[in-house]
Amino acid sequence: MTINTNHVSDTFTPSTGTLTVANPIAIGLGNSTLGSGNASTLKNRIINGAMVIAQRSTGSVSASTTSAITYGSCDRWAYLVSQASKFTYQQSSTAPSGFTNSLLATSSSAYTVGSTETFNILQVIEGFNCADLGFGTANAKTVTISFWVQSSLTGTFGAVLCNYNINRTYPFTYSIPVANTWTQISVTIPGDTTGTWYTNNSGGLQLMFSLGTGTSNSGTAGSWSSNGYYGATGATSVVGTNGATFYITGVQLEVGSSATGFEYRQYGTELALCQRYLPAFNANNATYSFSGAAVAGSGFAPNANGFTGIFVHPVATRVPPTGVVVSANADFTVNLAGSGQTGTFTFAYSSTTASSINITQTSRTSGQGGYFYGNVSTALFYLTGCEL
> What does the buried/exposed string (b/e) look like for 154-186 if buried means 16 or more CB atoms within 10 Å of the residue's CB?
eeebbbbbbbbebebbbbbbbebeeeeebbebe
Dmax over Cα atoms in the chain, in whole Å? 82
pLDDT band at residue 39 under the 50/70/90 scheme: very low
Cα distance between residue 372 and residue 374, in whole Å: 7
Q: What is the CA radius of gyration of the chain?
A: 25
Yes or no: say if 308 and 367 are a contact pair by the CB < 8 Å rule.
no
Q: Are strands 293-303 and 289-290 parallel, antiparallel or unpaired?
A: antiparallel
Q: Which of 180, 147, 177, 176 is nearest to 161 (CA)?
A: 147
Q: What pLDDT was estimated at residue 318?
A: 98
- pLDDT digits over 230-251, tens only? 999 999 999 999 999 999 999 9
Cβ-based neighbours of 91, under 8 Å, separated by 6 or more: 51, 54, 57, 58, 73, 74, 101, 102, 103, 104
In this prediction, residues 330-345 reach a mean pLDDT of 97
Q: pTM of the prediction?
A: 0.90
pLDDT-wise least confident of 16-30, 250-264, 302-316: 16-30
- pLDDT digits over 307-321, tens only? 999 999 999 999 999
- pLDDT digits over 375-385, tens only? 999 999 999 99
Yes or no: say if 163 and 229 are a contact pair by the CB < 8 Å rule.
no
Q: Which of 131, 198, 134 is nearest to 163 (CA)?
A: 198
Yes or no: say if 118 and 235 are a contact pair by the CB < 8 Å rule.
no
Q: Which of 287, 263, 264 is nearest to 275 (CA)?
A: 287
Domain 61-274: assigned CATH number: 2.60.120.260
Provide the Cα torsion 12, 13, 14, 19; round to 10°: -40
- Report which DSSP code applies to 225: B
In this prediction, residues 253-270 reach a mean pLDDT of 97
Cα distance between residue 319 and residue 312, in whole Å: 14
Cα distance between residue 109 and residue 218, in whole Å: 22
Q: Are strands 280-282 and 245-255 parallel, antiparallel or unpaired?
A: unpaired
- pLDDT digits over 112-162, tens only? 999 999 999 999 999 999 999 999 999 999 999 999 999 999 999 999 999
Yes or no: say if 133 and 126 are a contact pair by the CB < 8 Å rule.
no
In this prediction, residues 348-372 reach a mean pLDDT of 98
Whether 265 shows a pLDDT value over 70: the answer reads yes
Three-state DSSP class for 268? helix
